[in-house]
Structure 1
């Protein structure tokens, strides 16, 4: 999910259940490292759960 946030520290903020990294470019090596470590990682409260059926906020 991508969403701009006024006054955020960098161009990109990666978030995963209590973990966060801020970078200025998608080419930053920490982006792929973050995905490798945290997509369905050990911090995930419901491993394998689908991200469907949410509320739109409208």
Structure 2
């Protein structure tokens, strides 16, 4: 099933999300230090796809 941005946002709202934003898969160069700190402090536990790599 193909999901476009509009459909994804609609599904998120329907399932209880208050805010829905979509971004690209580019690296977090500008906020890399903050992202790494969050990973190291355990704030991303349970999100195996979110890592320092």
TM-score normalized with structure 1 length: 0.25
Q: Which has the larger radius of gyration?
A: 2
Which structure carries more relative contact order (alpha carbon 8 Å, separation 6+)? 1
TM-score normalized with structure 2 length: 0.26
Larger helix fraction of residues: 2
